[in-house]
Amino acid sequence: MRAFIASSIGVTCAAVLALPLAVPAGAAPDTSTVPAESAEPVDVPGSTQSLPMRTLSAPSGRSTGEPTRAAAPEQGLPEREVHPFSMVGVVWDDVGTELHGTVQVRTRATGTGDWSDWQDLETHNAEHSADPGTAERDSGAVRGSTAPLWVGDSDAVAVRVRPEAPDPQDRTGSAVPLPAGLRLELVDPGKDPQQLPATGTATGTGAGTGAAADVATAAAAGVATAAAAGVATAAEAVSAAGAQAAATEDGRAAALAPSVLSALSKARSEAQGEAEAGLARGARPYIGPRPRIVTRKGWGADEKLRERKFVYTSKVKAAFIHHSATGNNYKCSQAPSVLRGIYRYHVKSSGWRDIGYNFAVDKCGNIYEGRAGGVTKAVLGAHTLGFNTNSMGIAVLGTFTKSNPPAAAVNAVAKLTAWKLGLFGANPRGKVTLVSGGSNKYKKGRKVKLNVISGHRDGFATECPGARLYKKLGSARTSSAKLQGR
């Protein structure tokens, strides 16, 4: 039994998620949205300003006798002071309309008054969305959007949206217009519920901090492990939990026995359900240790923003790796704020039911719970258009088109996939066949053979997760499989 527990530590840890950290009063983000052009002060812990754009320049034609191939008008907003914000993005009315052009912003830092250079926003964000035909996609609330960009504390902004130049081969002289209803979205993510460690290890805060929390996590994992193995009696499960706790480095495990006993019934029943979802009884558990995961409450998610219901798929057969394209100019201590900004932008600005990703990883290797519904469950996300069913999306916070992802982040991806894919019997180095829900790369209904750990670009024609991160997926697969004991 001891050998079995050691090999399958962290199968589940329902008890850990039942023990979230307390959030200081007034720390959760507010759900209010600041009206466009509002002159009233904003005294809330989180908000969104939505500013309509206007035409900045008229198209100019050619003075030759050839057909005019004028560009569409440029839109945007000149420099202006606004209420404080830290994240910026652009949205438009029709989610099915692509923005053919460039979007750039300049922001003024609060305090110093220094203006940034013009910064690009990733314009093709439609591929991070719910699948066609789903209730979320067809809700009528979903809008087209760029990726949001983290700019830090700012109090002034300018934006310009430049359409693509007309195709010189197009004899009609037509130009692709910009999408209708362009709006600048300025997001204040609100205050942090706590200070998270900025270390290179995955030291999340799902159950608390310090050695006592570590022991509680290990003991609870022992209960869950025993339950997943089909332990018939509470006594056996408690014994298994004790063995698991004894394997930790902290000698105070015995003192936590009452808390383990109190969580036994719930942990055992939940773990049995999780085992049925991904592991046949008696099968060898190729499941990596459960990594520490910062819960939604840990990073300050305002649960009033999202839809209340959860949506699930049958299994998690694959993991799609993304970069958030929010830039790399954040400290690890700011990662919860970045995540709250993405969450608010996905829901309030883009019209999604919740944050699109199932998990997020920061550059220090901390792992965060994404879309609500349970970290052990097959939660339907909105991350890889056409392939959200039976998959999970993991976003590494940052932009890795030209910058290398930190080793800590890649290692965290390996740890997370070794555990979560293991719950559903998936081999990180294996292949899987998924049915496309419709993307710009695979037609709806087509069966596509993919790596179990794939990049976003494998299912959709996109740069995501960035060339530099994409190159690291091979080593992530190998590390993940080793953590599963393969």
Are 223 and 306 in a shared domain?
no
Give how far Cα 118 sits from Cα of 105, 121, 157, 290, 370, Å: 5, 10, 10, 42, 30
The answer to whether residues 239 and 245 touch, using CB atoms and an 8 Å cutoff, is no
Q: For residues 397 and 437, state if they share a domain.
A: yes
Q: Which residue, 167, 188, 209, sits at the end of a domain?
A: 188
SS3 168: coil
DSSP-derived letter for residue 247 is T
Q: In this structure, how many other beta carbons lie within 10 angstroms of the beta carbon of residue 100?
A: 16
- Whether residue 250 is found in the same domain as residue 384: no
d(CA 107, CA 116): 6
Number of domains making up the chain: 3
182 shares its domain with 222: no
- Among 156, 188, 220, where does a domain finish? 188
pTM (2 d.p.): 0.75
Same domain, 183 and 76: yes
Does residue 338 sit within a domain? yes
Distance of CA 150 to the CA centre of its chain: 14
Q: Can the peptide bond before residue 465 be classed as cis, meaning omega within 30 degrees of 0? A: yes
Report yes or no on 32 lying in a domain: no
Residue 383 lies in a domain: yes
User: Range of 435's domain?
Assistant: 296-483
Structure tokens, 70: 């004028």
Judgement on whether residues 251 and 311 belong to the same structural domain of the protein: no
Residue 7: both structure tokens together? 């090999």
Residue 120: Cβ within 10 Å count: 15
The residue among 278, 305, 328 that closes a domain is 278
Three-state DSSP at 149 gives: strand
Going by their DSSP bridges, the two strands 101-109 and 149-163 should be labelled as antiparallel
Q: Does 39 fall in a domain?
A: no
Q: What is the pLDDT of residue 70?
A: 58
CATH code for the domain of 107: 2.60.120
Q: What CATH number does residue 430 fall under?
A: 3.40.80.10
Tokens of 34: 């600041």
Within a domain: residue 31? no
Per-residue pLDDT of the chain (486 residues; tens, 9 = 90+): 434 333 333 333 333 333 333 333 333 333 334 433 333 333 346 999 999 999 997 655 444 444 445 567 899 999 999 999 999 999 999 988 889 999 999 999 999 999 999 999 998 755 566 777 788 887 878 999 999 999 999 999 999 999 988 766 666 656 788 999 999 999 999 988 764 443 333 333 333 333 333 334 334 444 443 333 333 333 334 334 443 333 333 333 334 444 444 444 444 444 444 444 444 443 458 999 999 999 999 999 999 999 999 999 999 999 999 999 999 999 999 999 999 999 999 999 999 999 999 999 999 999 999 999 999 999 999 999 889 999 999 999 999 999 999 999 999 999 999 999 999 999 999 999 999 887 778 888 899 999 999 999 998 888 899 999 999 999 999 999 999 999
Q: In this structure, are 179 and 305 located in the same domain?
A: no
pLDDT at 82: 97
How much is the pLDDT for 418? Answer: 98
- Do 327 and 453 lie in one domain? The reply is yes
Whether the bond into 177 is cis, omega within 30 of 0 = no
Give the pLDDT confidence score for residue 137 in this predicted structure.
80
